[in-house]
Amino acid sequence: MKKHMVYSIGRFILLTLYVLAAVFPLYWIIITSLKGPKEIYTMPLQYLPTTATLDSYRKLFSFSSFSLYFRNSLLVAFLSSLLAMAVSILSGFSLSRYPKQRTKGILQLALYFTQTIPTFLIMVPIFTMFSKLGWVDSTGALMLVYVATVIAFSTIMSKGFFDRIPVSLEEAAKIDGCSMFQSLLYVVLPITRPGMAAIFCFAFINIWNELFLAVMLLMSNDKMTVPVALNSFISKAGISWDVMSAGIVIALLPTMIVFGFGQKYIVAGLTEGSVKG
Amino acid sequence: MERKFYRWMLVPAFLFLTAFIYYPVLRGSVMAFQNYNLFDLNQLRFNGFDNFKAVLSDPHIRFAQILFNTAIWLFGSLFFQFVLGFGLALLLKKPFAGRGLYTAFVFYGWALSGFAIGLTWAWLFNGQFGLVNDMLIRIGLLSEPIGFLSNPNLAMISVIIPNIWYGVPFFGIMLLAALQSVPNELYEAATLDGAGSIRKFTSVTVPYVKPTIVSTILLRTMWIVNFPDIIYAMTNGGPVNRTNILATQMINKVFKEYDYGQGSAIGLIIMILLFAYAMLYLRMTEKKGGDTL
Amino acid sequence: MKHPMTILLVLCTLLLVLSPAFAAGTKEEASGPVTLTFVETMTSPSRTAQIQELIAKYEAQNPNVKINLVSPPYEQADNKLTLMLNSNQELDIIEVRDHTVKQFVNNNKLVDLTDYLKTWDQGDDLLPLTMTAATTVNNTPYLLPQFFFVKGLFVRTDILAKHGFTTMPKTIEELYKMSIAITGKAANQYGFGFRGKGSAFKISDILILSDVDNINVDNIYKTTDGSFAFSSPAARKAVAAYVDLYKKAVPSDGINWGFNEQVNGFISGTTPFLVQDPDTVSMVAEALDPSQWTVIPMPVGASGKTYLDYGFAGLGIPSTSKHKDLAWDFISFMVNAENNADFCRAYGPLPVHTSTYANDPYFSSGVYKSWEIEMSNPATYVFVKYPLDNPKYPAWAQVQEQTMQSLLLGSTTVDQAIKSWEDYWK
């Protein structure tokens, strides 16, 4: 019992220390967003705003159509992640069950290979390709690109989830008369639902925060996404920290929510597949 | 019959990849062998390995320094991300009151965008108006502020810290999940065999979690090398080239100098190095057949 | 729900297949209003709002024209515009900057505006400097400049007074002396708002080269007799003095300061002197009381002169535009004396018409008086050009930053640094 107590206290201290270290940047951003422009640059440093104000947030929404960009990002991230998730179900399952080892190995290599590619290398070719197709300034085209950027990792993750599910389940289903597709759909998939949620979360967070492709491939101001909007607060004369900090806080909310939900599923998803019968 | 079905299932994913990744990579790679400089595109022609030679032998921005920086950036970040991530995962493994909250606070860093993190930490580490200096002075650990980002010897460490902060959540989540998937029966059996906690850790936990560790580390390696956002926002590669990694130099070439030829050359170098590293790594960690995450 | 997963998969496949359909970008119809696409590159949220006001004004006067404003973020904007031009996107009005005009002309992307300017009734009202800027490349006007960015010296008068200084520095030497005198490390008080990274040479060049007497106005890095500017003995001394300034009046962190930290230092009072462009005025005005600060003309160097680089940005017409005449109509509207003055008043930089300086009290009083002085005394405030058409220019910023930082940190000597610069420009 005593050992347990020591362990609990030790854990509490360590975790709290880490939480403090992890949270203080966010704290700084939040209080900066609550200070007025005159207070942001004062010395000595103000750890608490002397007069908390929501002016920066007001400025953010009235001044720069931020709510429109927010909606754009929500749409883009949500749909792309959904599509990526759906596609990765197919590819992950297939890769997991693929009979020929050699091809399987090569395919996996091809997937890992995509992770070595710097975005800047493909930025210009994609832009040139899209401009020939007339797809510049298209939210739909951007979503397709985003799916492509996350599909490799999504497939790897998906394969991992399916690996944990014993083939015996599908075989049992087959014996019961299901086709390959049906067994995937009705037997295997329901078990991996948490895993799929996890893939959705990963994809969502990555896409939500993506900057460079969005800047390059979109044109009209009303199609901008949140990272682009935040980046536009940097101008020749400097960074407008009042709207920037407010923007960062607002931009963090959806990812935190998705992440909050996702955590449970990611952990559950990665554990559930293990053999319990 | 089965194989056909599986092949069809792979088509959507690889369609996306081919159209938007593989094909553009090929086109991008071609630029590395051309004198593709936006300053004057009239004289566009193939210039063999000139771009590579220029990058490798630049007298002002030494390539050796860039490689060295990239290595430190990678291994420094990776090591601490892993150790802290693993430590946190171990602490969060067993349920306790408030665990959900702790998990949220400890892992949220990953939900932020790289450049927002860079800008914030640039301010936090500022020699004059930075929180870090201010707090260290108030506690009494420092008597006068340190130029974290302007001291060539401290700059790299100062950019690695936010990267660690950013990367721990990924490791933490992956390892937490892996740890929680270790079947309890194995631990029970080990206890019956008389194993203590350390023994249980080394002979039950670690082997079971190893495949996850191996793939997560490989992925993180590639992501860290291709992650210039934080450095770019904090020091732009300085001071004196000491935080310039391959990826940030690539940004410089592309965005500031409009030299897509040399920029693409650097991109190819990154890809080749990472790929070679991955091959070596996988061979060394001896993956058997299928891998698990 | 019978087959939820199937439905999901079918939906997603549909999405996949159909997205190219709604993927097509906005295409205009054959009839109806003409849409012009206007790309700005010096984006900032407040500036974009002002441009939109002007656009609304124009559209009200010209109901058959719509202007579609594209505002990429400042840091990527020039690059993006270059990509768009090179892939022949349909653009009609673009913002051209001093360092992008040569590149656009090289790639044949800009329309020669000579004829348009000739028939413009306000053409004669433009400052001589405006025409010089417009004809930067090949002596042909490829853009119509909208504003000028010229450095001024921002001063925290209250901090100066606190340290017993009531007169403003007239020479660079005085500026250095004051900065060093004010610096008290213990009190976290420093003297000079240093720029360590991000085109730092724009500031250091003024302070160093203004000591040299015979700089060539067409290329700041050369003297009138053709030798390299930094090699002259006066420049050598000035470089050493600059390093000395860093050691004695700037926090060591200054080597990593960009424009953001410079402004931060000024507003917080840590560094009471700041060399910056007029568009910084609104930022500073928002954070400080008018009694706390002012702007004075740049102090002169040992040559009795100050060499100022006139940064500029303006509007041009891409050669691929299908509505060139209409584009010019809009450009001449944006840059007419009245709108230009309004815009500059709100955004900060200096306007381009002679009449504005003569008639508008805003630009000849208050803090803007200093810039007016700089613009109208060419014997003392000499405007010089950077070698923008030299293909080595784009890479210069990074090279200069490296060597200068090395120099400031003491890992290289003044002579070595100057030699490496000379070798670079050979």
* Domains by residue range for chain B, with CATH: 63-288 (1.10.3720.10)
Alpha carbon distance C72, A227 (integer Å): 12
Tokens of A129: 């390709």
Mean pLDDT, chain A, rounded, equals: 84
Among B23, B84, B107, B120, most A C-beta atoms within 10 A, so best to mutate, is B120
Within an 8 Å CB–CB cutoff, is residue B254 touching chain A?
yes
State percent of chain A over pLDDT 90: 30
pLDDT-derived band of residue C12, with 50, 70 and 90 as boundaries? low
**Closest listed residue to residue A196, CA positions, set A149, A112, A266:** A266
Q: What is the pLDDT of residues C394-406, one digit of tens each?
A: 889 889 988 999 9
Mean pLDDT in residue range A205-228: 91
Compare B176 and C26 and report the one with higher pLDDT: B176
What length does chain A have? 277
Among C19, C84, C162, C288, most A C-beta atoms within 10 A, so best to mutate, is C19
Domain range annotation of chain C: 32-148+312-364, 152-311+377-425
CB A15, CB B84: distance < 8 Å: no
Rounded to two decimals, what is the model's pTM?
0.88
Q: What is the pLDDT of residue A268?
A: 63
Q: What is the pLDDT of residue C25?
A: 44
Tokens of C338: 């009245």
Cβ neighbours of residue C219 under 8 Å, at least 6 residues apart?
C384, C385, C386, C387
**Residue B94 identity (one-letter amino acid):** K
Phi, psi of C315 (to 5 degrees): -110, 140
Mean pLDDT in residue range A235-251: 87
* Residue of chain B with shortest Cα separation from C417: B60
C32-148+312-364 CATH, one of 3.40.50.620, 1.10.40.50, 3.40.50.300, 3.40.190.10: 3.40.190.10
Alpha carbon distance C74, C83 (integer Å): 15
Q: What is the pLDDT of residue C283?
A: 82
Rg (CA), chain B: 23
CB B145, CB C185: distance < 8 Å: no
* Residue of chain A with shortest Cα separation from C199: A236
**Residue A108 identity (one-letter amino acid):** Q
Within an 8 Å CB–CB cutoff, is residue B97 touching chain A?
no
- Minimum-distance CB partner of B105 among A19, A95, A117: A19
Alpha carbon distance C143, C117 (integer Å): 10
Q: What is the pLDDT of residues C203-246, one digit of tens each?
A: 999 999 999 988 998 899 999 988 999 999 999 999 999 999 99
Q: Is the pLDDT of residue A210 over 90?
A: yes
Per DSSP (E only), the strands in C256-310 are 273-276, 294-296, 306-309
* Residue of chain A with shortest Cα separation from B111: A255
pLDDT-derived band of residue A274, with 50, 70 and 90 as boundaries? very low
Per CATH, C32-148+312-364 and C152-311+377-425 having the same topology is answered: yes
State percent of chain C over pLDDT 70: 93
Tokens of A215: 């800047």
Q: Does domain C152-311+377-425 have CATH number 3.40.190.10?
A: yes
Cβ neighbours of residue B268 under 8 Å, at least 6 residues apart?
A121, B29, B32
Among A236, A240, A242, most C C-beta atoms within 10 A, so best to mutate, is A236
- Minimum-distance CB partner of B6 among A28, A94, A126: A94
Tokens of C328: 């010019």
DSSP H or E run through A46: none
Q: Within a 10 A sphere around the Cβ of B229, how many other Cβ atoms?
A: 23
Distances (CA, A) of C370 to C205, C307, C350: 20, 15, 11
Minimal CA separation from B126 to chain C, in Å = 7
State the sign of the Cα–Cα–Cα–Cα dihedral A149, B160, B164, A35. Answer: negative
CB B66, CB B249: distance < 8 Å: yes
Assembly ipTM:
0.87
Q: Is the pLDDT of residue A130 over 50?
A: yes
- CB-neighbour burial class of residue C138 (10 A; exposed 0-12, middle 13-18, buried 19+): exposed
* Chain B from 113 to 172: CB within 8 A of any A CB: 113-117, 119-121, 123-124, 128-129, 131, 134, 162, 165
- Minimum-distance CB partner of A88 among B6, B13, B162: B13
pLDDT-derived band of residue A127, with 50, 70 and 90 as boundaries? very high
Q: What is the pLDDT of residues A181-199, one digit of tens each?
A: 777 777 777 777 778 888 8
B150/C82 CB distance under 8 A: no
Q: Is the pLDDT of residue C28 over 60?
A: no
Q: Within a 10 A sphere around the Cβ of C268, how many other Cβ atoms?
A: 19
Distances (CA, A) of A195 to A85, A160, A164: 10, 9, 11
C280/A237 CB distance under 8 A: yes
DSSP string, C67-99: EEEE---HHHHHHHHHHHHHTT---SEEEEETT
State percent of chain B over pLDDT 70: 96
Q: Is the pLDDT of residue B195 over 50?
A: yes
Least confidently predicted of A38-42, A58-62, A87-91: A38-42
